[in-house]
Amino acid sequence: MGKAESANRMWSTTAPGATPGTFAFAMPELPEIVPLPEMNFDGGVPAMIPHPRLGIDAEDLSGQLGNYFGAPEGEGILVRDVGSGSVAEKAGLKAGDVIIFLNGDRIRSVGDLRAKLAPRDGDKATTVKLGLLRNKSETSVNIELPAPAPRTKHVSIHGTNI
């Protein structure tokens, strides 16, 4: 038996009492579909994901690219874009800056920065100092971070409706 015949046999189904090689079924009545509310997506961050605290688009630098920008040990975060109206823009952060420090702590990756900026319960508005490389020269900016939005508790119920 060849591959084509084998494949045809796998998908061939015979219903009881039907002619071999045919298949029949009754489609159940479907309930009326209720349309979902219209959702406007403006390209921003979906509401269920916490808003970014700085308002930047960034990527990790390493190796030769990091060395090109003058990052210590070739590691840092390249700012690719600064959101219009963001706290980073208000503080003077610019595309092309390389973030290397946060409040004096070395930042090697986006994960490092994200972890250090992660809002914690009870956080209030605070100012952080970002150490940067701009045109291979060190500088810094102070950024006023707003207090994180209060978290809502989500309840998940597992069970069966009877």
Whether 162 maps to a domain, the answer reads no
| Long-range contact set of residues 133-137: C-beta below 8 Å, sequence gap at least 24 | 133/69, 133/70, 133/71, 133/76, 133/97, 133/98, 133/100, 134/94, 134/96, 134/97, 134/98, 136/69, 136/70
**Domain CATH for 137:** 2.30.42.10
pTM to 2 decimals?
Answer: 0.60
The residue range of the domain holding 79 is: 56-145
pLDDT digit string (tens) for 42-83? Answer: 555 444 444 457 899 999 998 899 889 888 888 999 999 999
Whether 30 maps to a domain, the answer reads no
Whether 83 maps to a domain, the answer reads yes
How many structural domains does the chain have? 1
